[in-house]
Structure 1
Amino acid sequence: MLRQTRFASRHFSQGILAQRRMASTKTIREALEEVIPKKQAQLAALKARHSQSVLGDVKVEHVIGGMRGLKAMLWDASVLDPLEGIRFHGLSIPDCQKQLTAAPGGKEIIAESMLWLLLTGQVPTEAETRQLSRELAEKGDLPKHVIDLIDSLPTTLHPMTQLGMGVAALNHDSKFAAAYEEGIKKSEYWTHTLDDCINLIARLPALAARIYRNVYKPGQEIPAINKDIDLVGNYVNMLGFGANHDLTEYLRLYIAIHGDHEGGNASAHTAHLVGSTLADPYLSYSAALYALAGPLHGLANQEVLRWQLDMQKELGNNITHEKIKESLWKTLKSGRVVPGYGHGVLRNPDPRFVALQEFCLTRPDLLADPVIQLVKQTSEVAPDVLKEHGKTKNPYPNVDAASGCVLYHYGLTEFKYYTVIFGVSRALGALTQLVWARALGLPLERPKSLSLEAIEKLVEGQ
C-alpha cells in the first residue's frame, strides 16, 4: 500500500513537472517567491499539529556512534533510501537524466538544471535553464583580491585548503552580511542568502580552475568565461580541457549527481550547522569544504583510484576474477578496508556508481581502458568477497569506486585535485538548503551532549 502511495505521488508530481515545461519562463528568484510561502505554510501546519510527535528513539549507539541514522535534521532537496538510493525532490537519477536539461549538443544533465530542481522542487524549462546559465556566467569572474590571494599561495598547499580559503575570502562581498549589518527583517534573510549562493556557485569554477592551473599548469593563461555556455562547460575550458567533449559531458553528469546526498553527510551537515549561526554562505561553505577534505568523506575517490592502480600493477596483464578475488582477500586479511565499497546509509549498489558505469558503457575508448575494466571487474567480484568476509553492512560499490577512473582516463590525473571537483559539485545542494533554512526560519542548531558518566547513569536507571 505504501509503495502504491509513493508511486501515485511520484506520478502526480511528474505530471505537474511536465505541465511546467509549457509554462512561461521565470527567473529562479521568481520561482522561489512562488514556492516559499507554500513551504512556510506547510512547516507552520506541521509545527502546530505534530511538534510533540515522536520520530524515533535515541539510543546509546546514536550518541557514541556518530549519530548514524538519527532522524534529527530537516533537508528537503533530497532523500536517501537505503534500498532505492538517492531521489532529488522525488526524482531518481534516471528520472533526472530523462527530465533535466542538457547542454546544446550534449546528453548529460547540466549543473544549472539540477540547481533549479534542488532549489525550487521544479524541473526547469529549457529557456529557464539557459537563462540561469547566462546569469551564472555573467557573475562568474573572480574579484581581484581573491585572484591575488590564490596566486600568492604556495603551490605545495593542498588544493582543498586553497579552495576553502578562496571561498571564505569571497565573503568580502557578501550581500547577506552587508544586509544583516544594516538590520534587515528575518523575512528577507533568504533573498540576500540567495544572492550569495548564486554568486558563489557562479564563481566556484573560476576559483577551482585557477587553483588547478597554479598548482599543476603554472604559467598557462586561463580562458575567459564564455557567456553562451553552461557552468561546467566553462569550468572544463578554464581547466584547459575544453576540446575534450567527452570529459565535459562526464563532468556535467558527475557534478549534477554529486550535488546533493541528503543533509546528514559531513559536508552538507557542516554547511547547515555553520549556516544556522547566520554566518554568510561563503563562511558556511568554506567550513563544509574542509569537512569534504577528510579521507572518510570527499577524499575517498582518490584513495580508491590509487588502490585500483596498485592492484593493476600487482596483478599485471590478463587480470581474471580469481586474481581480483585473491587481491581483495589480501587487502582484507591485512586489516585494511576495500576502498569504494560500503556506505553509511545505502544497502544496495549506489545509483551514482551505476550512472557513471553506464556512461562508460556508451564509449568504446572507456571500455577499452584497462583501469576502467578493472573497476568494472572488481565491482563484479567484491560484493561476494565482502559478504563472505561478513564485516560490512553494504558490500556493494559506492560512487567513489567509479568516479576517479574516468577523470584519470581523460588526462586529469592529479589525484589531490579530485576533491576540489567534488567541492564544486556539493555546493549545489549545501547552498540551496541554506536558502531554505533562512526562508523557513530554522533555528540555531544546538544538540545536547552527554558525558560517559551521564550516559551510564541514564541507562543503568532504566
Structure 2
Amino acid sequence: MIPKYGDIMTSPPFPRSGVCMDDEETLFNVRESNLDTGLRGIPVGTCQTSYVDPMEGVHYVGYPVEDLVDLEEEDVIYLLLFKELPTKEQSDKFRAELVHRAESLPTGALRVLESLTPGSGHPMDWLAIGIMALGTAEATGDVRADSMNLIARMPELMARVFLLRGGRKEQLKPRNPELGLVENFV
C-alpha cells in the first residue's frame, strides 16, 4: 500500500534492518498542548536600536520608519550608531568620514573574492566570505572603527560580489568619492 498525505501508518512502509526506533528508549513525550506554534507576545531578542509594534509598525531609535524614508541613507546609519539624527554639520562630517574609510578595499580581501569561481555558491555566501575577509584583513579591535570601515566598504563589496559572481569582472568600476553609499553601489 502506498501512503497518501494524511494517512496514519500502523506499520512502516519499508522493511527495516538493524536497530529500529521502536527499540530505542523514550526520553520524553511531547503533546500538542506542549507546543506553542507562535511567538506572539514572547520576546525572543532585544534590541536598543529598533522595535516592531503590531499596530504602529517598525521604529528605529524611536522614530517610525515612515519618518525616515526621505532621509539620506548615511543619516539613518548615523541615527542607528549615535541614537540621534545628525545636524547638517554632523551629517557632512559623517559622510566625509565614510568616504575616507571607503578609499580602498584591502588587497587580501579582493584576492579572496577573485579566487572564487563565478556562478558558484549563493550570493549571500559570497557576501559572507567578503565580510569575513574584510574583518580578517583590517580588524582594529575597536568595534566602532571596524563597524564604520565595514559600513563604508559595503557598497563596493556588494557590487564586487554581484559582478564577480556573475563573471563580469571587466565591468568593475572604481568608486566615486563624490557619491553616497547607495549611489556607489548602483
TM over 0.5: yes
**Does the 8 Å CA contact 2:155/2:184 hold for their aligned counterparts?**
yes
Match of residue 163 from structure 1: 127
The residue type equivalent to 1:234 in the other structure is N
Q: Deviations over 1:304-337 (max 9, x none)?
A: xxxxxxxxxxxxxxxxxxxxxxxxxxxxxxxxxx
1:200/1:219 Cα in 2 relative to 1: closer, same or farther (>3 Å)? closer
Aligned to 2:93: 131
Query: 1:116, CA displacement in angstroms?
Result: 1.1
1:355-370 paired onto structure 2 within 5 Å:
none
Is residue 88–residue 118 contact of structure 1 (8 Å, CA) maintained in 2?
yes
Q: Contact between 1:110 and 1:232, CA under 8 Å: does it hold in 2? A: no
TM superposition outliers: structure 1 runs of 4+ over 6 Å: none
Indicate if the aligned counterparts of 1:134 and 1:228 stay in contact, CA closer than 8 A: no
1:209 is the counterpart of 2:181: no
Secondary structure of the residue that 2:59 maps to in structure 1? strand
Larger helix percent: 1
Which residue pairs with 2:49 in the alignment?
77
1-structure distance, mates of 2:66, 2:168: 39
Q: Give the one of 92, 98, 113 matched to 2:75.
A: 113
Looking at structure 2, the residues matched to 130 and 217 of structure 1 have their Cα atoms a distance apart, in angstroms, of 36
State whether residues 87 and 93 of structure 1, in contact with CA within 8 Å, keep that contact through their aligned partners in structure 2.
Answer: yes
Identity fraction in percent: 29
CA RMSD in angstroms comes to 2.2
Paired position in structure 1 for 2:116 = 153
**TM-score w.r.t. length of structure 2:** 0.72
**Structure 1: which 5+ residue stretches go unaligned?**
1-58, 98-107, 177-191, 237-462
Unaligned stretches of 5+ residues in structure 2: 1-32
Looking at structure 2, the residues matched to 224 and 95 of structure 1 have their Cα atoms a distance apart, in angstroms, of 33
Q: Distance in 1 between matches of 2:170 and 2:99?
A: 21
TM-score, normalising length: structure 1: 0.31
Match of 1:146, as an amino acid?
A: A
Whole-Å separation in 2 of the counterparts to 1:72 and 1:215: 35
1:163 positional shift: 0.6
- Is residue 79–residue 88 contact of structure 1 (8 Å, CA) maintained in 2? yes
1:227 Cα shift? 2.1
Contact 2:127 2:161 in 1 (8 A): yes
Matches within 5 A, 1:120-269: 120-140=82-102, 141-157=104-120, 158-172=122-136, 173-176=138-141, 192-216=142-166, 218-236=168-186
Structure 1 contact 111–232 (Cα < 8 Å) conserved: yes
In structure 2, do the counterparts of structure 1 residues 133 and 61 end up closer, same or farther at CA, with 3 Å as the change threshold? farther
Question: Following the alignment from structure 2 to structure 1, what is the Cα–Cα distance between the partners of residues 127 and 182?
Answer: 17
Q: How many corresponding residue pairs?
A: 151
2:77 & 2:113 partners in 1: Cα distance?
A: 27
CA distance in 2, matches of 1:156, 1:223: 20
**Are the aligned partners of 1:136 and 1:202 in contact in 2 as well (CA < 8 Å)?**
yes
In 1, Cα distance between equivalents of 2:64 and 2:178: 29
Deviation of 1:203 after TM superposition, in Å, equals 1.2
Residues in 1 aligned to 2:115 and 2:63: alpha-carbon distance in whole angstroms: 43
Displacement of 1:201: 0.9
In 1: Cα distance, 2:91 partner to 2:35 partner: 44
**CA deviation string 1:113-163 (max 9, x = no partner):** 111111222111122222222211221221111111111101122211111
